[in-house]
């Protein structure tokens, strides 16, 4: 049995009839039932076939620059003190983030199902770019739903999606962010399911999406386990990943599920602080509760009447009311620990990473960096931290410049807004 196969079995062992403990399920309109059954069967028929995984790995190696490396952050480790800090470089993956891992895998499934159109939601824009890339490569029509707020703060990604032939539809409902984009994508799918596949971008939604997305993202953790053993000579003591929906966290965590001595740490969006209403922390906010929305059961930020609360994060990709049911389960069984990083902590961490290592992280990924830096100094010099850098920060240039208080960029942004 290959190591990848054993890790996939550990992942699949978490699932029971579409649930992960008490989370998950498939709460969908009857009209979508047959479509999800078709998708589930297509996935089940190939997911444990070694030849399918080999085909998937080959396309990721020849098209998407895998395996991505691990970088020892020697300078930052010295500045912070304590543990040695390593970083899995998903920012070097094609399209600049971990998102390509999932969409290329789903693209292979779409080909097998014979469908000709793909739709997707996106928050930070990275999943939208990755889906547009996959559609161009594999010859699918493509529509991307994106909250109108995110369209404005992620304008560079919108440009690239459109250049690759995707139609980008701004969503103005609700808070005009990620949850609203997901709602619109589901509406489209319900009306076009015969020829359309919904390439959901994170490990959320109705079964089989959480398991399927985690399966394709597990390539990150499978690579990382072998790499860190070779470079550091041991398994990491702690692994840090940012947590929005949960796909990059599940990707890196999946390579270490059987390694009980490795602590898995997810860092959520603390926004302006957990003592305010302006954050997106589902697993670290005592005010979150179990609910059902967008086809699945998990922890949501909702009020006493079950209505979803507004969320906030400096990072568009973490600005979401729910979280992967798999991560909710890992939280409840104490296999993973979850913390939050505020917007200001994230900006400080990003500045340190740029100044000491020359690496520009996405704002989403910088949450993991902030969490790791906060804990590294409390650890011993022979201990090892591994951060999953899920994406690069090109897309965030305007937001980062504004957050850093660069007067020249702020003037540029003001002039741009008045055009």
Active site residues: 99, 121, 390
SS3 31: helix
Place of tokens 């304590």: 82
CA distance 372 to 358: 17
SS3 110: helix
* Among 148, 140, 88, CA closest to 114: 140
SS3 415: helix
CA distance 102 to 202: 8
CA distance 75 to 27: 48
Q: At what angle do helices 50-63 and 3-12 cross, to 10 degrees?
A: 110
Q: At what angle do helices 33-47 and 99-113 cross, to 10 degrees?
A: 100
DSSP character at residue 90: G
Between strands 23-24 and 19-20, the pairing is antiparallel
Q: Which helix (H) or strand (E) holds 148?
A: helix 148-153
CA distance 67 to 337: 27
Place of tokens 């989370």: 23
**Torsion angles phi and psi, residue 116, rounded to 5:** -115, -5
**What would you report as the CA-atom Rg of the chain, rounded to the nearest whole angstrom?**
20
Cβ contacts of 25 within 8 Å, gap of 6 or more: 18, 19, 206, 207, 292, 296, 297, 325
Q: Which helix (H) or strand (E) holds 399?
A: helix 397-403
- The alpha carbon of residue 28 and the mean position of all alpha carbons in its chain are separated, in whole angstroms, by 23
CA distance 52 to 381: 41
Alpha helices in 233-362 (DSSP H): 247-253, 325-332, 343-357
* Among 231, 219, 239, CA closest to 2: 219
């Amino acid at each position: 049995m290959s190591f990848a196969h054993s890790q996939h079995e550990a992942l699949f062992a978490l699932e029971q009839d579409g649930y992960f403990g008490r989370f998950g399920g498939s709460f969908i309109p009857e009209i979508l039932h047959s479509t999800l059954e078709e998708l589930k069967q297509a996935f089940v028929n190939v997911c444990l076939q070694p030849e399918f995984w080999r085909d998937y790995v080959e396309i990721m190696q020849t098209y998407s620059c895998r395996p991505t490396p691990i970088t020892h952050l020697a300078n930052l480790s010295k500045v912070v003190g304590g543990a040695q800090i390593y970083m899995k470089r998903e920012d070097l993956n094609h399209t600049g983030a971990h998102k390509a891992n999932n969409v290329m895998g789903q693209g292979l499934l779409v080909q097998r199902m014979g469908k000709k159109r793909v739709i997707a939601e996106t928050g930070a824009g990275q999943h939208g770019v990755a889906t547009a890339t996959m559609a161009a490569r594999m010859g699918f029509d493509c529509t991307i739903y994106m909250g109108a707020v995110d369209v404005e703060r992620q304008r560079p990604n919108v440009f690239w999606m459109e250049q690759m032939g995707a139609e980008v539809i701004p969503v103005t409902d609700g808070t005009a962010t990620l949850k609203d984009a997901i709602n619109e994508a589901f509406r489209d799918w319900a009306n076009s399911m015969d020829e359309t596949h919904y390439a959901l971008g994170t490990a959320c939604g109705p079964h089989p999406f959480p398991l399927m997305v985690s399966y394709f993202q597990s390539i990150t953790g499978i690579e990382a386990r072998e790499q860190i053993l070779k470079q550091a000579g041991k398994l990491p003591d702690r692994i840090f990943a940012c947590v929005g929906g949960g796909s990059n966290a599940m990707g890196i965590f999946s390579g270490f599920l059987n390694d009980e001595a490795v602590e898995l740490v997810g860092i959520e969006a603390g926004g302006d602080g957990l003592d305010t209403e302006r954050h997106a922390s589902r697993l670290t906010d005592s005010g979150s509760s179990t609910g059902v929305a967008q086809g699945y059961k998990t922890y949501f930020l909702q009020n006493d009447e079950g209505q979803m609360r507004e969320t906030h994060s400096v990072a568009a990709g973490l600005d979401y009311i729910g979280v992967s049911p798999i991560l909710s389960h890992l939280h409840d069984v104490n296999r993973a620990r979850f913390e939050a990083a505020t917007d200001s902590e994230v900006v400080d961490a990003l500045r340190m990473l740029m100044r000491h290592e020359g690496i520009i992280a996405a704002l989403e990924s910088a949450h993991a960096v902030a969490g790791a830096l906060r804990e590294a100094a409390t650890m011993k010099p022979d201990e090892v931290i591994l951060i999953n850098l899920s994406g690069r920060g090109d897309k965030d240039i305007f937001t980062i410049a504004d957050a850093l208080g660069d007067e020249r960029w702020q003037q540029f942004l003001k002039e741009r807004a008045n055009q």
